Amino acid sequence: MLRKWFTIGIGVKRWLLVLLAGMSLIAIALAYGIVKLDPLALEETSRVRMGWLALLATITGGLTLSSFAFWKLSHNLLAPYRVHQHGRVIDVVYAHSRRARGIKVVAIGGGTGLPSVLRGLKAYTSNITAVVTMADDGGSSGQLRRDMGVLPPGDIRSNIAALADDESLMTQLFQHRFDDGKLGGHAFGNLFIAALAGISGGLEPALTEVGRVLNIQGRVLPSTMADVNLVALVRRHGETRSLKIQGESRISAFGGVIEQIGLVPSDVPAYSESVRAIHEADIVVIGPGSLYTSILPNLLVPRISAALKATGAYRVYVCNVATQPGETANYDVADHVLAIEKHLGRGVFQAVLANNARPTVNAGVNTRYVPLAPPDHEVLQRYQVRYTDLTDPERPWRHDPQKLAAALLQLIEADKMGGSARPILQISQHL
């Protein structure tokens, strides 16, 4: 092993020698000064002056050589560990240190909404835990679940990618979806997670390894490790009788009014690390995402909802920007909150963050923005309801990660100050 350090071409030997040379010069100069030069001597002869000048020159040269060699050694030794990092070493180290001291965040949800929270907050903290649903039974995840008996990896994959470096080729590969052949419709990341779960002994060790491969800023955990399905009572528009629909992919596709949703089995155990993260968090963000098929499936896990009601963290529900056909058509902000209360009661969250912008550019003809809660509605008395512009300029039916992160950080700062921060309605003026 020692011999490897002296292999030709790895850039270690030469700079070690230069570092030793610099340190030797400093040591020789100091020894000469101690033995030959008396700092208390009063005579000011030219020979003494030359001795002092030579001493200072030698020390300066030694320090220069040592500093340069140390910098080159550090650069060569750290190069393999920063191959996926962009920018100067000092900038990378500073950013890493700042994020490591950031607030502890738990974000709960799934689908395409939760990644917006993660992309926005990962610039401020690496202490992020995403808790995602395991009830997905459609698309690539559903097929892998049926064919291989693995827990659905889709929500895990998309949120791991959100916590990774967006510019990394590995992140892009992780999100790549095959178009043709027998793999058509499968995302590479789903196959990767399923394969890794097979060779590592389960999803839990697989998630750890995937996080290392993509160097993510945080972690992604399931709300439960059990095989769980969604079941819902759905009523078609214009009808009075409700039908029982089982399967996450079938519920929203049915196209009716969802009256009740539940888990099968109902007493599914929570993943212990997810529960611990909620108890230790500074802020818990619930949503955004599909209300009935991404958010509630997590909250209906008994120990997850119990942890949310018991934690000392500041808890925020982030309402969707646009309504979702088959789930929340014609819902306003208050309707979203009441749906959660109907299933879990009160006390799950303290604040509601919702969008109040209605951009028309890039919105298209199918976007239906979620209306604000009526000004005299009861939910406004029970929760801190805050409105601001949260829309993505390119896809205004979705949240903008930076706007969302700024709003969430201001909410928790206002909570720390006892609500004395400036109103959140003013955020949109600064984004």
**Measured distance CA(330)–CA(342) in Å, rounded:** 18
- Angle among Cα 76, 78, 80 to the nearest 5 degrees reads 90
- Tell whether 251 and 364 lie within a shared domain: no
Pick the last residue of a domain from 32, 54, 79.
79
Q: Is residue 221 assigned to a domain?
A: no
Q: Is residue 222 assigned to a domain?
A: no
- Tell whether 386 and 413 lie within a shared domain: yes
- Tell whether 324 and 185 lie within a shared domain: no
- Tell whether 329 and 276 lie within a shared domain: yes
Per-residue confidence (pLDDT) for residue 420, from 0 to 100: 40
- Tell whether 95 and 183 lie within a shared domain: no
Give the domain range for residue 240.
229-264
Per-residue confidence (pLDDT) for residue 179, from 0 to 100: 86
The CATH number of residue 95's host domain is 3.40.50.10680
Q: Is residue 409 assigned to a domain?
A: yes
For residue 210, give the DSSP letter. Answer: H
Per-residue confidence (pLDDT) for residue 65, from 0 to 100: 84
- Long-range contacts (CB closer than 8 Å, 24 or more residues apart) made by 71-74: 72/11, 72/15, 72/18, 73/11, 73/12, 73/15, 73/16, 73/19
**Measured distance CA(152)–CA(247) in Å, rounded:** 13
Q: Is residue 1 assigned to a domain?
A: no
Helix (H, G, I), strand (E, B) or coil at 42: coil
**Measured distance CA(44)–CA(19) in Å, rounded:** 35
Q: How many domains does the chain have?
A: 4
- Tell whether 236 and 330 lie within a shared domain: no
- Tell whether 95 and 208 lie within a shared domain: no
Q: Which of 92, 107, 101 is nearest to 127 (CA)?
A: 101
Backbone angles phi, psi at 245, to 5 degrees: -115, 130
Per-residue confidence (pLDDT) for residue 96, from 0 to 100: 58
- Tell whether 430 and 319 lie within a shared domain: yes
Q: Is residue 224 assigned to a domain?
A: no
Q: Is residue 223 assigned to a domain?
A: no
- Tell whether 382 and 415 lie within a shared domain: yes
- Tell whether 273 and 402 lie within a shared domain: yes
Q: What does each of the 431 residues of the chain score in pLDDT, given as a tens digit?
A: 556 666 666 667 777 788 888 888 888 888 877 776 655 454 556 666 777 777 788 888 888 888 888 887 776 666 655 545 555 555 555 565 677 788 999 999 988 899 999 999 999 999 999 999 998 887 787 788 877 878 888 899 999 999 988 767 778 888 899 988 888 889 899 999 999 988 888 888 999 888 888 888 899 999 999 999 999 999 987 788 899 999 988 998 888 899 999 999 999 999 999 999 999 999 999 999 999 999 999 999 999 999 999 999 999 999 999 999 999 999 999 999 999 999 999 999 999 999 999 999 999 899 999 999 999 999 999 999 999 999 999 999 999 999 999 999 999 888 877 754 334 443 333 33
- Tell whether 155 and 197 lie within a shared domain: yes
Q: Is residue 219 assigned to a domain?
A: no
Question: Containing H/E element for 20?
Answer: helix 13-36
Q: What is the pTM of this model?
A: 0.79
- Tell whether 413 and 274 lie within a shared domain: yes
Q: Is residue 95 assigned to a domain?
A: yes
